[in-house]
Structure 1
Amino acid sequence: MRKTLRVAAYAVVVRDGQLLLARSPVPGGPSEWVMPGGGMEHGEDPYDTVRREVEEETGYLIEVTGLLGVGSFRGTLPGRGLRRPADHHSVQLVYEGRITGGDLRNEIGGSTELAAWQPLDAVSGLVRVPMVDIALRLWRERPAAGRATAVE
């Protein structure tokens, strides 16, 4: 089985009791809310990745105010087309950010379709990827080891 690795950086941006999220379309299913952020480009510093991705997906410029922790996931991705299934490992660096400029807007031609502020107390009712819960847990608990235990 082929092996793949993806390193990504995400931002938890909370303002006035609301969380900044992006919504990602899912072919054949309901769109899912995701943390603003995404994959590192080769040679890119993760600090620069999170700032670039937040701007691309939401229109906002952010100041990174801290590293909250690291998430890690390993699983099998199904093969598509001529590609074989993959043993996939995903590493997520989760930062805290503060808006410093820009205006909220939706991403054009990217992986997300909508950017919006969601009340923190309503996030649990949203259709969302597990990374949202992991990032919020890191933000709330700020574990000394920088690692969130499994969400139950």
Structure 2
Amino acid sequence: MHCMGATSVRQRVAAYGVARREGTVLLTQASLDSGVPGTWWLPGGGVEFGENPRDCLAREFLEETGLHARVGGVLDVVSDVSDMVHEPVRLHSIRLIFEVEVSTGSARPEVGGSTDAVLWVAIEHVCDLPLIPWLRDIASTHLVP
């Protein structure tokens, strides 16, 4: 008889930023290491234990885009539960979505990380991309007019 391991549960708090510039919004594309390759996200990531979410977002923004971020106010808090791709875990994700202003300069992708592309996307074309489901759910509220 084949026994499957029990599914465990985990909770994750993450911070993501909406950066806008001249009719565009900054998005990152998930790499092969992410479990959801090819999907597009807002820059950001998991808040480490004891870390302030704003500090997390500034750190993640620099890592993923090469741009310095000034984190503004909270735009939204979203929550969902999903099954992880590579392990038997039900993941409850709580995502803090912040308004962000970024430094001038060229965005560059993260090397060897969870993202492999960074792109300023015209607002009217955001929903044409394969967005991660939680971002598709909030795109009409926070990304597109």
TM range (shorter): 0.7 to 0.9
Structure 2 gap segments, 5+ residues each? 1-6
Counterpart check, 1:12 vs 2:18? yes
- Residue 76 of structure 1 and its aligned partner are, at CA, apart by 3.0
The aligned amino acid for 1:123 is V
Partner of 1:87 in structure 2?
90
The equivalent position to 2:99 in structure 1, one of 96, 100, 112, is: 96
Matches within 5 A, 1:1-152: 1-26=7-32, 31-77=38-84, 80=87, 85-101=88-104, 103-139=106-142
Q: TM-score by structure 1 length?
A: 0.80
Q: Aligned pair count? A: 137
Name the SS of the counterpart of 2:15 in structure 1. Answer: strand
Taking structure 2 as the reference length, the TM-score comes to 0.83
Report the alpha carbon displacement of residue 26 of structure 1 after superposing the two structures with TM: 4.3
Q: Secondary structure at the match of 1:113?
A: strand
Distance change (3 Å), C-alpha of 1:96 and 1:108: same
Q: Where in structure 1 are there 5+ consecutive unaligned residues?
A: 142-152
Deviation at 1:138, TM superposition (A): 4.4
Pairwise CA distance, 1:102: 5.2
Structure 1: distance between partners of 2:21 and 2:47: 26
Deviations 1:8-41 (A, max 9, x none): 0000001100010001124798611111000111
Cα 1:79–1:52 change in 2 (3 A) is closer
User: CA RMSD for the aligned pairs?
Assistant: 2.3
